[in-house]
Structure 1
Amino acid sequence: MMVPIGSVTRMHTQTLAASPALTPLLARGALLSPFKRPRRGGAVTPPTRLVLPGVRIDLAKLAAYERVCGYGVGADALPVTYPHVLGFPLAMRLMSARAFPLPLLGLVHTTVEIVQREALPATGEYELHVYVEGLAPHRRGTEATLVTEARGGGSLVWESRSTYLARHRTSQTSHRTSQTSQTSQTPQTSSAKAHAGPPPPPGEVRKTLPAMAEWRLGGDLGQRYGAASGDRNPIHLYPLTARLFGFRRPIAHGMWSVARCLAEHGVPEAVYVKAEFRAPVLLPGVVTYAAKGGAFELRGEGERVHLTGEVRPLA
């Protein structure tokens, strides 16, 4: 459970007339990032809830998303991951704002949880709510949880919680560094490792799931998903822009990986989903989808685990 670093005395609601454009938000977040110095303690949760009413689905954009993620095109209901795409511009507006205490550059998406209470018609009208639920200390820095809600007919029909990690020195990392320097010298963590999620707890034995499918991912996957979702973060697009952020090749969007796995796995209309991002997927590349029961994962070369997840039907 998240233990808040800061507190919000009062949350105010801001209603938007249209979904924000993502490119200017990325630029603003990049410009403000050098002026934000995350530290353990003292950060205050931004007190704004963004609301976007009257959201209608662009069926052409939805079809492009379904194709790139492996869903069937033209289904009556939205893919379980699609409301995240609808709400992402609002989340970016919050994270790129001056009030958000963590730098957007280097922010790592570590987990996502989704609760869908019923099938969401593709022709429906929705109201989106997005807000920062809280900030919490993490052994590698500070973690923010963003909540996205979709309401239909006045009822909450879909919600997600995404955690984002801003890496910085903490008392725990300082203690570990001191211990490490007394025993051995280890290389500095690479930028690619910085985008990996947390490793399994000490002593945990991971049971390998049986392989179900192998996917060959093209070098243009990030561009195609970016065009369908609107998320054109440069680390996903081209080798040159990826190298500017420490990656030798573009990496796949984390939410593409989740969507592709769920498209293969299949989910009931009322469902709980949780996924943890463990390591980036370099493009082009080959990955293996593995699953058993409600558990699934995405593995790469050398059995490296990129993503783990679970699917549970709601009662």
Structure 2
Amino acid sequence: MTRPDLQSGRGAAGPDALPSTPDLDVDLLDAPPQVAGTLVRGVATGLGRPGASGSLPARRVVLPGVEQDVERLAGFCAVTGGVLADTLATTWVHVLTFPLQVRLMASRDFPFPMMGMVHVANEMTLHRPVRVGETLTLSSWAEALAPHRKGSTVDLVGEARVGEDVVWSGRSTYLVRGARPQGAVPADREPDAAAGDTGQPGGAPQVEEGTGVTGPGPQLGVWRLPADLGRSYARVAGDVNPIHLSALSAKALGFPRAIAHGMWTHARALAAVQDRLPQAYTVSAQFLKPVLLPSTVVLRGAMSRRGGELCVTSRDGSKEHLSMQVTALP
């Protein structure tokens, strides 16, 4: 239900407190959206949208009272190489907010069809450690429609609160190839997105050869990724995009075979340095070339309590799949 009277969230307290964003209505949910059904509806209603000439939904999707499914959380840790602890991985909180993003992108007033949207960058800030037993209020909204030399980008923003305190915030940048906002000039911040992570069905990027990337710092790990990795991650993360699930469904959407979820690669990289991450930090990631399944990839970089840089490359270092920067908060 849409609650314009609650758009500021003022006067709310406790775990159900509504976050405040000026000029946005609140779409208050009583249960998480089902991603699979929402994806289908989004693709089905994708035609005839206004594209870059339209406006973004003027509302924020809010889901209060979120408690952890520890069994599902344990499955996420197992698939991404993390250790189940009494605090939540930054990437797990993204997983919790992802269904709210999908609800926005599938809505009829979202200007772009979900078919062809490419997840090219992600930024998350862990403001303080989030305990497994804490009750969260999650929210998501769309903003920052901007020109890109290949079309337009739009940000899907997420937030997690405990009571009135923001404990996690995230921003997923999607590229939509095609028309730019009228009269706009491409922004300096644009991601390259030659072959970003396709966040929604369709819009297959080219799978190109790299340019001899070696990555920052020493080799930290070598991972052999099985053909069914996409299905394993989808079971715990809920992202059932067909480009990740099988070679057959990926080929139908323009890929030679299934590709790993970009956010799996992101989560796996952070999990590998879990014991060296700062207590509170910002992590910025750029999704570059897709990881075809099965394959072998290498993690390179360095991490300390002050932050660091990581990248995931092909085994021979010729292709860079993910670039990541971690900065400790003061």
Measured at CA, do residues 154 and 284 of structure 1 come closer, stay the same or move farther in structure 2, by a change above 3 Å? same
Q: Specify the code of the residue in structure 2 equivalent to 1:212.
A: L
Report how far residue 37 of structure 1 moved: 5.2
Q: Which residue of 1 aligns with 2:61?
A: 50
Q: Which residue of 2 aligns with 1:298?
A: 312
Deviations 1:238-258 (A, max 9, x none): 111111110111100111010
Using the aligned pairs only, state the percent identity: 39
Q: 1:214-229 to 2 correspondence within 5 Å?
A: 214-229=222-237
For 1:121 and 1:44, locate their aligned partners in 2 and report how far apart those are by CA, in whole Å. Answer: 37
Structure 1 unpaired stretches of 5+ = 1-7, 172-189
Residue 35 (1) aligns with residue 48 (2): yes
For 1:25 and 1:192, locate their aligned partners in 2 and report how far apart those are by CA, in whole Å. Answer: 21
Contact 2:51 2:179 in 1 (8 A): no
How many pairs are equivalent? 281
Q: 1:173-252 to 2 correspondence within 5 Å?
A: 192-194=204-206, 208-252=216-260
Q: 2:153 aligns with which of 143, 151, 154?
A: 143
Q: 1:1-16 to 2 correspondence within 5 Å?
A: 10-16=23-29
Report how far residue 33 of structure 1 moved: 2.1
Q: Which residue of 2 aligns with 1:186?
A: none
Measured at CA, do residues 194 and 99 of structure 1 come closer, stay the same or move farther in structure 2, by a change above 3 Å? farther
Deviations 1:291-313 (A, max 9, x none): 13400000015420000001111
Q: 1:13-24 to 2 correspondence within 5 Å?
A: 13-24=26-37
Measured at CA, do residues 170 and 48 of structure 1 come closer, stay the same or move farther in structure 2, by a change above 3 Å? closer
Measured at CA, do residues 193 and 297 of structure 1 come closer, stay the same or move farther in structure 2, by a change above 3 Å? same
Cα RMSD, aligned residues only: 2.3
Q: 1:61-140 to 2 correspondence within 5 Å?
A: 61-73=72-84, 75-140=85-150
Measured at CA, do residues 93 and 170 of structure 1 come closer, stay the same or move farther in structure 2, by a change above 3 Å? closer
SS of residue in 2 equivalent to 1:24: helix
The alignment's TM-score, normalised by the length of structure 2, stands at 0.80
For 2:142 and 2:180, locate their aligned partners in 1 and report how far apart those are by CA, in whole Å. Answer: 22
Report how far residue 206 of structure 1 moved: 8.1
Q: Specify the code of the residue in structure 2 equivalent to 1:229.
A: A
Report how far residue 19 of structure 1 moved: 0.3
For 2:163 and 2:205, locate their aligned partners in 1 and report how far apart those are by CA, in whole Å. Answer: 43
Q: Specify the code of the residue in structure 1 equivalent to 2:45.
A: L
Q: 1:260 aligns with which of 259, 262, 268?
A: 268
Report how far residue 269 of structure 1 moved: 2.0
For 1:192 and 1:229, locate their aligned partners in 2 and report how far apart those are by CA, in whole Å. Answer: 21
Contact 1:69 1:263 in 2 (8 A): yes
The alignment's TM-score, normalised by the length of structure 1, stands at 0.84
Deviations 1:139-169 (A, max 9, x none): 1111111110000122011000110111115
Deviations 1:39-70 (A, max 9, x none): 4xx22121010110000000000000000000
Report how far residue 124 of structure 1 moved: 1.0
Deviations 1:96-146 (A, max 9, x none): 111110110110001111111111001110000110122111111111111
For 2:156 and 2:265, locate their aligned partners in 1 and report how far apart those are by CA, in whole Å. Answer: 19
Contact 2:54 2:111 in 1 (8 A): yes
Contact 1:192 1:280 in 2 (8 A): no
Q: Which residue of 2 aligns with 1:179?
A: none
Structure 2 unpaired stretches of 5+ = 1-20, 182-201
For 1:168 and 1:206, locate their aligned partners in 2 and report how far apart those are by CA, in whole Å. Answer: 32
For 1:89 and 1:57, locate their aligned partners in 2 and report how far apart those are by CA, in whole Å. Answer: 15
Measured at CA, do residues 219 and 207 of structure 1 come closer, stay the same or move farther in structure 2, by a change above 3 Å? closer
Q: Which residue of 1 aligns with 2:188?
A: none
